[in-house]
Amino acid sequence: MQNVQQADTSALRDQMVSDIYARTEAIVSQTVTLPENKTQLDFDRRLDNVLTSRWLGYPIMLLMLGTVFYVTIAGANVPSGLLADFFFWIEGYLTAVFTWLGTPAWVHGVLIEGLYRGTAWVVSVMLPPMAIFFPVFAILEDFGYLPRVAFNLDRFFKKAGAHGKQALTMSMGFGCNAAGVTACRIIESPRERIIAIITNNFVPCNGRFPTLITLATLFMGGAVGLAYGSLVATGVVVGLVLIGISATLSVSWLLSKTLLRGIPSNFTLELPPYRKPQFGRLMIRSVYDRTIFVLKRAVIVAAPAGVATWILANIFVGDLSILQHAALFLDPFARAIGLDGYILMAFILGLPANEIVLPILIMSYLSTGAMTEMDSLAELKNLFLSYGWTWLTALCMMLFSLLHYPCGTTMWTIAKETKSTKWTLVAILLPTGIALGVCFLVAQTVRFFGWV
Amino acid sequence: MSQTSCCQGTHAACTERFEIELQSPDDLVIALAGNPNTGKSTVFNALTGMNQHTGNWAGKTVGSAIGRFRHREHSFTLVDLPGTYSLLSQSADEQVARDFICFGNPHATLVVTDATNLERNLNLALQVMEVTDRVVVAVNLMDEAKRKGITIDLAGLQEQLGVPVIPLSARKGEGLPELKDMLLKVALGEVQPAPKLLPYSEEVERAVADLLPQVEPLVGGVLRPRWVALRLLDGDESVLAALEQYTLEPPRQIRSGEVVIPQ
C-alpha cells in the first residue's frame, strides 16, 4: 500500500516486541511455579537429545519406520488370509443361489466375478494392513515423534535448497498426498512452496502402501522362505520409502537450481512436549477417520471399476476382448519398463485413486485368465506368476507406483493450490518422466545382466 | 472500561466476508485462537463434537474449521482460527487470524494457552486483548502441568490480565462446562472483561501519541485507533489494506501521504 509514507520503525518494533515479552515474563514469574525437581522437563530434553541427535537420530528413525512396517506386514498376513477365505466361501454360496435362480451367465459375471470379487479382494488385501498401520502410525504421531522427524530432516531440505517445513508436508503426504499438498500452505515463500507441492507425490500415500506391502509380501518375502519373509518384505518397503525420500530431495535440489532458483528461508521449528498417547481415542479415530475412509473410497471406486473391467474383458472385438486389445497395444512399451500391458492399463484406469490400481489389475487378470478359484493369498501370487511375473515385475510395479504421476484428487488439489497450469503440468509430467526412466533403467539393467 | 468489541457492525460480517453460514441471526460467534500445539483442536473437538466442517475463506488460501454447539438454550458457532504465535501478520495464517478477530465481529474470542508453556503462549493473548475486550483465556493441559509439577495461580493470572481465565483439561473434558458458561456470559455482555493493557515503554508511547490524531479520524469506530497506530509503527500496513477490504463502507478514503509516521 502506498497510503503510508515509509519510515524506518524497526527500532520501535523491536522495542514493542521486547515490551510484550517483558510483560509476559513478569506475569509468568508471579503466577507460575515450576516444580522443585524438574525430572519431567528433563526427561523431554533428554529424550530429544537422543531422538534428534546427529548420530542416533537417523538410525532410530529407520528403526521406527521398519518396526511400523514389520508389525503391519507380519500382523496382516493371517487376517488377510482369513478374510479371503471368508469372502470366497461366501462367493460359493452366492454362485449357488444364482445357479438356482437360473440367472443368465453374464449377470453372474458382472455381479459376482466383477463387482463382488473385486470388492472382496480390495477388502481382504487392504483392510488388515490399514487397520494395523494407521493406529501404530497414529501412536507415534500422538506421542510427538513426527515433529522430531521433521527436525532431523530439516538440514537435508536446507541443503536441497528447499524449506525445512517441507519435512512436515512430506510426512503428511504419507497419509494422503492431496492433504500434503494442501499442507504446503504453511510454507510462506512461493518458490519453496511450489517445490514442496511438486515433490510431495514421491512419498507413498495410504492408497499406495497396500500395493507396496502386498507386492513386497508376495514376491520379496516369499522368495526367502517364510521365517524371514516378513523381515525381507519390511526391508523392501523401507527401502522404497527411502528411495521416495531421496527422489524428493534430489528433485527439490534440481528445481531449486533450475526452474525455482533461490536461497532457502529460515524458520523456527517448535518441538512440542511428549505426550502419553491416548490409545482408546486413537484407535477409534484411526479406524474411523482413516481406515474406513480409505476403504470406503477404494470400495466405492473399485466396485464400478470392477464392473467396467469385467465388461471390457468380456466384449469381444474379433478374437480378443477390448481389455486384451488395449493390453496388447500397451504391452511392448510396458515390457520395456519392466511391466506388462495389463499393469500399465491398471495404472491408467487407476488415475482417480491409487487404491484401485491393484484391484483393477487383479480383476483384469481374473476376467481374462483361466483361473476361476481364488481362495487364498498364495493363489493371488499364482495368478500373477501365470501371467509371467518375476520379482522384477513386482519391483518395477512398486517403483512405478512410488514415482508416477499423482492421483486425480491430488492433481486437482495441485491445480487449485498453485492456480497455475504450468506448475500443475510440471507436477504431473516430472514424476511420470522419472517413473518411466527409473523403471526402464532397472528393467534393462536387470535383464542385461540376466538376473531374471 | 467496557467498550464493546472493536468492530461495530452486524453479523453480516461473518457471513458475507468470511463465508461462514450462521444457522440463525441469534448465533453466538466465538473465535478460537491459540499457538500451535496447545491442544487447540482438542478444545475445538471437545466443544463441538462431530458437529463441524472445514471452510475455506474467500480470497485466502488458509482453511479453517467451523463447528457448532448448544449451551443453555443458545447456539454457538465456533470458528477455529489457524494456530499462530502472534497477530503480527508475518504469514497468511496470522493475517487470517487477525482479520477474523478484527473484522469478523465475533461475540467473544477464546485464546487457548498451554499450561506447561504459559510464557510463550501469553504473548498471543496479550495481543488479542489489544484488539478486543471480549476475550476469554483458557489455560489448557492443566492435567499435564500437574503431572509435571507445575502450579499456576489462576486467580492471580486473571487479576493480572483482566479477562476471565478458565482452567481446562480438554482431553479429559474437565473445565468444559465452566468454559461454555463463561463464553456465554461474555458473548451476552453479562461479564465484561477489562483487559489490563500496560503502557509500552516511553518511546513507543510517545510515537503512538504523535500518530494517534492522524489515525483516529481514519479508523475510529471500526478499529481501535491505538492498536492501528501500534501496527503502523510496527511497519505493518496490511492492517489498512484489510480495513479497506473488510469494511463495507470505509469511514473515509485513505489517500496517499495522509498518515505520516513521525521519525
pLDDT, one tens digit per residue, over B160-175 is: 888 999 999 887 888 8
Nearest to A40 among B36, B147, B255 (CB): B147
Bridge-partner residues for B110, per DSSP? B32, B136
Which of A141 and A408 is assigned the larger pLDDT? Answer: A408
User: pLDDT confidence of A223, banded at 50, 70, 90?
Assistant: low
Average pLDDT of the segment spanning A198-210? 87
Nearest to B237 among A1, A27, A35 (CB): A1
Which of A303 and A75 is assigned the larger pLDDT? Answer: A75
Closest alpha carbon to B137 in B159, A275, B70, B27: B159
**What per-residue confidence (pLDDT) applies to A70?**
84
- What would the 3-class secondary structure string for chain A be? CCCECCCCCHHHHHHHHHHHHHHHHHHHHHHEECCCCCHHHHHHHHHHHHHCCCCCHHHHHHHHHHHHHHHHHHHHHHHHHHHHHHHHHHHHHHHHHHHHHCCCHHHHHHHHHHHHHHHHHHHHHHHHHHHHHHHHHHHHHHHCHHHHHHHHHHHHHHHCCCCCCHHHHHHHHCCCHHHHHHHHHHCCCHHHHHHHHHHHHHCCCCCCHHHHHHHHHHHHHHHHCHHHHHHHHHHHHHHHHHHHHHHHHHHHHHHHHCCCCCCCCCCCCCCCCCCCCCHHHHHHHHHHHHHHHHHHHHHHHHHHHHHHHHHHHHCEECCEEHHHHHHHHHHHHHHHCCCCHHHHHHHHHCCCCHHHHHHHHHHHHHHHCCCCCCCCHHHHHHHHHHCCCCHHHHHHHHHHHHHCCCCHHHHHHHHHHHCCHHHHHHHHHHHHHHHHHHHHHHHHHHHHCCCC
- Angstrom distance (rounded) from CA A200 to CA A394: 23
Per CB-CB distance under 8 Å, the chain B contacts of A9 are: 207, 232-235, 261
**What per-residue confidence (pLDDT) applies to B246?**
63
A22-32: string of b/e by CB count within 10 Å (b at 16+)?
ebbeebbeebb
Per CB-CB distance under 8 Å, the chain A contacts of B116 are: 273
User: pLDDT confidence of B10, banded at 50, 70, 90?
Assistant: very low
Any CB–CB contact under 8 A between A266 and chain B? no
Q: Residue A372: is its pLDDT beyond 60?
A: no
Nearest to B123 among A12, A13, A20 (CB): A20
**A396, burial (CB in 10 Å: exposed 0-12, middle 13-18, buried 19+):** buried
Q: Residue B194: is its pLDDT beyond 60?
A: yes
pLDDT in tens, B59-100: 333 456 777 788 888 888 888 887 777 777 566 677 777 778
- What would the 3-class secondary structure string for B196-247 be? CCCCCCHHHHHHHHHHHHHHHHHHCCCCCHHHHHHHHHCCCCHHHHHHHHHC
Average pLDDT of the segment spanning A409-436? 91
Longest dimension (CA), chain B: 56
Interface size between A and B, measured as CB pairs under 8 A: 122
Per CB-CB distance under 8 Å, the chain A contacts of B263 are: 7
Mean pLDDT of chain B: 74
Pairing of strands B135-140, B108-114: parallel
Bridge-partner residues for B174, per DSSP? B169
Q: Residue A371: is its pLDDT beyond 60?
A: no
Nearest to B241 among A1, A24, A31 (CB): A1
**What per-residue confidence (pLDDT) applies to B61?**
37
Nearest residue in chain A measured CA to CA from B256: A3
**Candidates B127, B233, B244, B245, partner chain A, best to mutate (most A CBs within 10 A):** B233
Distant-in-sequence, close-in-space partners of B259: CB < 8 Å, separation ≥ 6: A3, A4, A5, B211, B214, B215, B218, B232
- Angstrom distance (rounded) from CA B227 to CA B131: 7
Cβ neighbour number for residue B59 with a 10 Å cutoff:
11
Contact B64, B113 (CB under 8 A): no
A9, B261: Cβ pair inside 8 Å? Answer: yes
The lowest-confidence range among A2-6, A62-66, A446-450, B168-172 is A2-6
**What per-residue confidence (pLDDT) applies to A301?**
67
User: pLDDT confidence of A394, banded at 50, 70, 90?
Assistant: very high
**Candidates B40, B112, B234, partner chain A, best to mutate (most A CBs within 10 A):** B234
Any CB–CB contact under 8 A between A23 and chain B? yes
User: pLDDT confidence of A299, banded at 50, 70, 90?
Assistant: confident
Q: Residue A268: is its pLDDT beyond 70?
A: no
Nearest residue in chain B measured CA to CA from A29: B119
Nearest residue in chain B measured CA to CA from A272: B37
Any CB–CB contact under 8 A between A9 and chain B? yes
**Candidates A2, A6, A8, A16, partner chain B, best to mutate (most B CBs within 10 A):** A16
Contact B178, B166 (CB under 8 A): yes
Q: Residue B57: is its pLDDT beyond 60?
A: no
Nearest to A185 among B62, B234, B238 (CB): B62
**What per-residue confidence (pLDDT) applies to A377?**
67
Contact A292, A161 (CB under 8 A): no
B237, A35: Cβ pair inside 8 Å? Answer: no
**What per-residue confidence (pLDDT) applies to A402?**
94
B240, A1: Cβ pair inside 8 Å? Answer: yes
A24, B198: Cβ pair inside 8 Å? Answer: no
pLDDT in tens, A89-131: 888 888 888 888 888 888 887 787 777 877 777 777 777 877 8
- Angstrom distance (rounded) from CA A300 to CA A123: 12
Per CB-CB distance under 8 Å, the chain A contacts of B204 are: 12, 15-16, 19
Per CB-CB distance under 8 Å, the chain A contacts of B50 are: none
Per CB-CB distance under 8 Å, the chain B contacts of A182 are: 63
Closest alpha carbon to A424 in A437, A410, A404, A434: A410
**What per-residue confidence (pLDDT) applies to A37?**
59
B150, A33: Cβ pair inside 8 Å? Answer: yes
What percent of chain A stands above pLDDT 70? Answer: 88
Per CB-CB distance under 8 Å, the chain B contacts of A10 are: 235
**Candidates A1, A2, A3, partner chain B, best to mutate (most B CBs within 10 A):** A3
Nearest to A12 among B123, B203, B241 (CB): B203
What percent of chain B stands above pLDDT 70? Answer: 73
Nearest residue in chain A measured CA to CA from B218: A3
- Angstrom distance (rounded) from CA B52 to CA A94: 41
- HSE, CB side, 13 Å, CA atoms: give it for residue A185: 20
The alpha carbon of residue B156 is apart from the nearest alpha carbon of chain A, in Å, by: 6
Contact B55, B65 (CB under 8 A): yes
The lowest-confidence range among A183-197, A358-372, B131-145, B223-237 is A358-372
The alpha carbon of residue A31 is apart from the nearest alpha carbon of chain B, in Å, by: 5
Nearest to A34 among B93, B150, B160 (CB): B150
Per CB-CB distance under 8 Å, the chain A contacts of B218 are: none
User: pLDDT confidence of A279, banded at 50, 70, 90?
Assistant: confident
- Angstrom distance (rounded) from CA B137 to CA B75: 21
**What per-residue confidence (pLDDT) applies to A156?**
85
Q: Residue B251: is its pLDDT beyond 50?
A: no
Nearest to A31 among B157, B234, B255 (CB): B157
pTM of the model: 0.62
Q: Residue B140: is its pLDDT beyond 60?
A: yes
Per CB-CB distance under 8 Å, the chain B contacts of A24 are: 119, 122-123, 126
Nearest to A24 among B126, B171, B263 (CB): B126
B148, A28: Cβ pair inside 8 Å? Answer: no
Average pLDDT of the segment spanning A18-42? 76
Average pLDDT of the segment spanning A199-228? 79
B235, A3: Cβ pair inside 8 Å? Answer: no
Mean pLDDT of chain A: 81
User: pLDDT confidence of B186, banded at 50, 70, 90?
Assistant: confident
Any CB–CB contact under 8 A between A275 and chain B? yes
pLDDT in tens, B12-43: 444 455 656 666 667 888 888 888 777 777 78
Which of B32 and A134 is assigned the larger pLDDT? Answer: B32
**What per-residue confidence (pLDDT) applies to A329?**
93
Nearest residue in chain B measured CA to CA from A32: B152
Distant-in-sequence, close-in-space partners of B33: CB < 8 Å, separation ≥ 6: B40, B81, B84, B97, B101, B109, B110, B111, B112, B124, B128
Which of A36 and A189 is assigned the larger pLDDT? Answer: A189
**What per-residue confidence (pLDDT) applies to A250?**
93
